Structure formats: C-alpha cells, structure tokens
Amino acid sequence: MDSNCRMNVRRCKPSLVKPCEETPSTILHLSPIDSLPVLRIHTRTLHVFKDSPSEAAPAAIVREALSKALVLYYPLAGRLKPQTYPLQLDCSNQNQGVLFVEASCDSTLASLNYLDDLTSIPFHLLLPEEHESEPEAEGEALVKMQITEFASGGFVMGLVFCHSICDGLGAAQFLNALGEFARGIDLAPTIKPTWDRDFFPDPPQNALINHQLAIPNPPPPLPDYSLQQSNIDIPMDRINALKKQFQESTGITCSAFEIVAACFWRSRTRAVYEASCNNDQEIKLVFFANCRQMVEPPLPKGFYGNCFFPVRISGWSKEIGEASINEVVKLIQEAKSRLGREFREYISQKQREPESDPFAPPLDYSTLFISEWGRLGFNQVDYGCGPPVHVVPIQGSPVIPVGIVGSLPMPRKGIRLMTWCVQEPHRLSFLHQISQLFL
C-alpha cells in the first residue's frame, strides 16, 4: 500500500447496541488487577476480513450478534464508576451499551493489500474513537466498534476495548462468542462467560488511604523517544530451525515466543548500546504472562477479566549483547519458572508498596516490552465468512519501547514482529542485527 494512501471512508452516526433481553441491574466489583491505573487505557485493533457474509451486510450481522452476546456479557455494556478502588462497574442503566458505528469505503481491500503495511494505514479512519459524544448513556463506553465495508466485499472491524474489563484472552473470548452468534448459534456460546473477579483479595483499607489508590496521582510525564516503527516478518522454518538448535544444545525445548523474544532483545541491545561510550548499562525485558491456572483453585475457562503478571528479566547490556541466543532463551525460561511463586506472593501481600509495584517497571529507553498476540484467539474469530486475514494491533504510545508478536497475514505462515523500539539513529543497526538471525 502506498505511503500516501488516501481512503474515502463514510461513517454513519454512532449508536448504542444494547442487550436484546433484560439483564441484571447491578453494581459489579472489579479485581485489584483490573483496577491497576496502568490498565485504565483502551486497546485498539483492526480485524481485516477478506470476504463478507453472504446472508446480509456485515454491519447488520455483527450488530444483531452483538445484541445477543451482550445478554451473557452484559458487563461490557456497563460503565466504570469513577473514583472507586477497586473499580466498580455500573450495570444499572438500561440505556447503556456498546458504541457501534457503520461505515463504508469506496476502495477495495485488495487494492490496499488488506492493510498489510502498518506504516501507511490511516487507522484513525477505521476506528470509532474520533466521533462525537455517545448517544443516550452517560460515561464512556467500555467497548467501541466500527464496521467498515469495502467495495467488492470484505470489511474491517475497528475495535476499541477498555483494558480494565478484559485482557487479551478475555477480549478474544468475547469476539469468538460474537462470531458464534453471527453464524447462527442462538443457544449459548461454546465457552460460557464467568465473572469471578473475587479471586484476588482486596488490599486493606489503610493501604488504600495511605497509597491514595482510590484516586491515583497523575502519571509522570513520559519522555519523548520518537520511536521508529518497523515490521520484521519471520518464516516458520527459520523459527523451527532456531528451536531445533536450542534443543540440540541444551536437551530441552523452547517456544517460538521465547526464540523471538531472545532475538529481539539481543538485537536491540546490540544496536542501542554497542555504539555507546557507556555500553554496560542495566537493561530489562518485560512481558506479561497468563496466570489463570496459578490461582487456587484455577479460574474457570470462561473467565474474561485480567489475570496476568509481569515476567521481568534483568541483565547488563554488554552481557546480553555478547550472549548467544540460546543463553538469552535460558534467561527468559528461568524468569518464567519463577512466575507462579512471584504471582502467588503478590496476591497474598497484605500491603503493596507503590514504589515496588511489579506492574510499573521503569518506562525508560533501557526497558523493552514484548507482547504475544498470535495465541490469544483473535485469529480464529469467524462471523460467517472465515477468520480474519490480518489482525493489526495499534500501538498506543510511541514512547514506550515495545514489540508485538503476531501472525503473518494469511495465507502466509510465520510470525510478524511489530516493533516501536528504537530511535532513528539505532534503527538501521537494529534491523541489520535481527535480520541476520532470521535469514
């Protein structure tokens, strides 16, 4: 797609989609993890479908399915109550719902290469967040959705989701249920949703007062690193070759994510610090791991809230830059092996010091975040025309070094590493370092 791409998108006025049946009028309590200030953000994704359902227009099918899915997932139609900790969710207003926008584009998805080139997507035209204030209900919708139909078939779902209500696994669970209703399954979805937000004990009241958790302080100003965006497409045969090398060297197996994370961290470290006069700085790699099975008893399959914990790996730039990929993979595996113990210690603490909050690692140039999207379940969602050919995460901040591990657009097999991780002086060196590993 041309970097000067112009798309003519026509939007209808936003509306609210409500549950098609009466739902409980209640106030729900979220967990302390849901209530973390760092999660009071909205994640944004584009879901690209090559074809359209044959029965009706995509927007009409998704709208009807959404009204059915919200009967079971009625909390997603609610509104957060401000100034509460842990957060509370108001589900008592029958005028609440999901913000829904219908749109059309006179271009074809094929002419836009199915939005394959993230750097040239005018994603703001495909997301529902640039619109006028919401109709009818007070407060911001937890879920906002735009269905944009393209000429000659196909559509894009632009989705904005409040992270305080769902993590990635939970959001994908909801979309898969939505897909089942869209395909005509009018009974219950395969996975029945459960709330279960009481798995995490609330902090004592004195901790809330002392640490001012009820009304969080404004976040400190973020540095402006002007991070450059780059995609690295990795064929599966190269991933499998590196996994095989690791197994032959160590006698144990590793995952594709661990291989990609190790290559990513070492490549960035070399690019950023080898040319520096002070090339031996403390650096960190951070990612978040699902902890549903680490709760006692484990959370049910239908749980769709936030239940994860940061895996943190620390090292020195010279050490990581000179290490083999196998050595970096072992560091990652060692950190993951501590996850269960660290998570259980965290949720059992009676008082949590804000300055040692594991969910708030330093947001500086020496900390690299990586997130895995390919296994969440977004790529299996089917509204009656097959799964998406492409799921595009939209990076929320250009100032936090990050990489997102996703899947290559169909029909290709492999991994796409989407990165916003280096400043311009380090970009070419980073791309050279990482491409050498995946050639």
Reply yes or no: is the peptide bond before residue 82 cis, omega within 30 of 0.
no
For residue 367, give every residue at least 6 positions away whose Cβ sits within 8 Å of its Cβ, in sequence order, or none: 283, 284, 285, 286, 361, 401
Spatial distance between the Cα atoms of 396 and 44, rounded to a whole number of angstroms:
8
Active site residue 382: yes
Phi, psi angles (nearest 5°) of residue 330: -65, -35
Reply yes or no: is the peptide bond before residue 122 cis, omega within 30 of 0.
no
Which residues does residue 371 pair with via DSSP β-bridges, in sequence order? 404
Which residues does residue 157 pair with via DSSP β-bridges, in sequence order? 47, 147
Terminal Cα-to-Cα distance of the chain (whole angstroms): 24
CA distances, 221 to each of 36, 189, 353, 363 (Å)? 18, 43, 21, 10
DSSP 171-196: HHHHHHHHHHHHTT--S--SS--B--
Spatial distance between the Cα atoms of 66 and 240, rounded to a whole number of angstroms:
39
Reading the block at residue 33, the tokens are 């993890």
Q: Are strands 79-81 and 15-17 parallel, antiparallel or unpaired?
A: unpaired
DSSP 210-271: HHT-SSPPPPPPPP---PEEEEEEEEHHHHHHHHHHHHHHHSS---HHHHHHHHHHHHHHHH
Task: From 14, 307, 301, select the one nearest 177 (Cα to Cα).
Answer: 301
Reading the block at residue 375, the tokens are 């296994």
Q: Per the residue annotation, which of 202, 233, 364, 382 is the catalytic one?
A: 382
Q: Per the residue annotation, which of 163, 211, 390, 426 is the catalytic one?
A: 163
Spatial distance between the Cα atoms of 303 and 173, rounded to a whole number of angstroms:
9
For residue 51, give every residue at least 6 positions away whose Cβ sits within 8 Å of its Cβ, in sequence order, or none: 153, 154, 385, 386
Active site residue 117: no
Instruction: Tell me which DSSP letter residue 303 carries.
Output: B
Give the catalytic positions in this structure.
163, 382
